[in-house]
Amino acid sequence: MALTFDDGPGGSTAAILARLTRYKVPATFFNIGVNMAARPSLARVEARDGYALADHTWDHPALVPLSAAGQAAELDRVSAEQCSLTRTVPCVLRPPGGDYDATMLRLAQQRRMGVWLWSVDTQDWMADGSGSSDWVQRIIRLAEAEGAQLRHPVVLMHNQPIGNPATVSALPADHPVLPLTWLQVRRALAIPASCGPGGHAGGTKGSTGWPGRGVAWVSGGEDHARSDEA
Ligand SMILES: [Zn+2]
């Protein structure tokens, strides 16, 4: 399993980090460049605490309509910002909305970056800043329903500027497993914080190497190659 948090750093990033670090749960933060520039200290804390920072574009546009140069700028500005803040560069990217084309895949390959989508969508962003228990239970229900069917779920959650209190509450607080029973802390994996000598996102040392290079698959997306075993 991999936990991923998109669109940050934001209003709940510190609270998410507090819950993750308490149980040493790895996770990947797919940051937006403008949000890193606005909250540089949070990006630094993510890196300092050993979490992987990944590229979710500079300002979250739909990438496919952009020119190759426009797409490249969206990726490279994030790398430059992250490098200036943390002395690390992202080696994985996630296109906004999961929408990509051959141009984006080529740009990623040129930069030796992996492309990660997701396979479990908690739809937590729909809470729109609410922390109500209804939203918390919905996030957990969706994660468990989808994640239980997969060997290596890639779970999509958010840490947006508006804040995601329901997402925070869905993470473990006083118990390493409950209420998020699907979390299975010991099996959690994360992508490496740096690209390493191979320059690819090949999983952490000692892991199976999953999810490896290329595109992690997304549930419900008939147009996307499914390569869960890759
Ligand atoms: Zn996003």
Quick one: pLDDT band at residue 174, thresholds 50, 70, 90?
A: low
The answer as to whether 114 is a domain residue is yes
Task: Tell which residue, 17, 51, 53, 16, has the closest CA to residue 35.
Answer: 53
Task: Tell which residue, 165, 107, 170, has the closest CA to residue 143.
Answer: 170
- Which CATH number covers residue 83? 3.20.20.370
The answer as to whether 227 is a domain residue is no
Q: How far is the CA of 133 from the centre of ligand 1 (A)?
A: 24
Q: How far is the CA of 106 from the centre of ligand 1 (A)?
A: 21
The answer as to whether 230 is a domain residue is no
Q: How far is the CA of 57 from the centre of ligand 1 (A)?
A: 9
Quick one: pLDDT band at residue 159, thresholds 50, 70, 90?
A: very high
Percent of the chain residues topping a pLDDT of 70: 75
Upper half-sphere CA count for residue 203 (Cβ side, 13 Å): 18
Which range (47-51, 116-120, 173-177) has the least confidence?
A: 173-177
Q: How far is the CA of 174 from the centre of ligand 1 (A)?
A: 29
The predicted model gives 86-106 an average pLDDT of 94
The answer as to whether 99 is a domain residue is yes
The predicted model gives 175-189 an average pLDDT of 43
The answer as to whether 87 is a domain residue is yes
Q: Say whether pLDDT at 191 is over 70.
A: no
Output the average pLDDT for the chain: 79
pLDDT score at 175: 53
pLDDT score at 77: 98
Q: How far is the CA of 118 from the centre of ligand 1 (A)?
A: 12
The predicted model gives 136-142 an average pLDDT of 91
Count of domains for the chain: 1
Q: How far is the CA of 175 from the centre of ligand 1 (A)?
A: 29
Q: Say whether pLDDT at 125 is over 80.
A: yes
- For residue 156, what are the β-bridge partners? 4, 121
Task: Tell which residue, 171, 166, 52, 174, has the closest CA to residue 113.
Answer: 52
Please give all residues whose CB falls under 5 A of ion ligand 1, grouped by chain where several chains appear.
6-7, 96
The answer as to whether 174 is a domain residue is yes
Q: How far is the CA of 172 from the centre of ligand 1 (A)?
A: 23
The answer as to whether 39 is a domain residue is yes
pLDDT digits (tens, 9 = 90+) for 102-115: 999 999 999 999 89
The answer as to whether 62 is a domain residue is yes
pLDDT score at 22: 82
Q: How far is the CA of 97 from the centre of ligand 1 (A)?
A: 6
Range of the domain at 59: 2-187
Higher pLDDT: 75 or 217? It is 75
Cα–Cα distances (Å) from 195 to 2, 17, 52, 101, 118, in that order, read: 17, 22, 10, 23, 20
Quick one: pLDDT band at residue 165, thresholds 50, 70, 90?
A: very high
The predicted model gives 18-47 an average pLDDT of 92
Amino acid identity for residue 1 in this structure: M
The set of residues, in sequence order, having a beta carbon less than 8 Å from that of 211 and lying 6+ positions away, is 2, 114, 116, 152, 154, 201, 203, 230
